[in-house]
Amino acid sequence: MVPLLKQELPSAQASYRAGVVLALCEMAPQVGDEFTAEQIVPVLMEQMKEENTELHINIVSNLKKVWRLVTD
């Protein structure tokens, strides 16, 4: 599922990208630390480069779900 989402993100509308990053953050605890570090974190980092406040808010406000997995 993550590869499909990654493929669609560059051409997607901002509201869709904001929803995807929120879903990825929510998914992180279920898929584990290795998958999160390898698949989800790069997507989040790439999206932080975008000039979209909604994306940034979704990532930052949910980062604690991802951060715990990749730093433990």
pLDDT over 70 (residue 63): yes
Name, in order, each residue with C-beta under 8 angstroms of 33's C-beta and a sequence gap of 6 or more.
Answer: 69, 70, 72
Q: What does the domain layout of the chain look like in residue ranges?
A: 14-71
Residue 68: strand, helix, or coil: helix
CB count within 10 Å of CB 20 equals: 21
pTM of the model: 0.82
Reported as a single tens digit per residue, the pLDDT across 35-48 is: 999 999 999 999 99
Three-state SS sequence of 20-35: HHHHHHHHHHHHCHHH
Q: Which of 3, 72, 6, 5 is nearest to 34 (CA)?
A: 72
Reported as a single tens digit per residue, the pLDDT across 4-42 is: 878 888 888 988 888 888 889 988 889 988 999 999 999
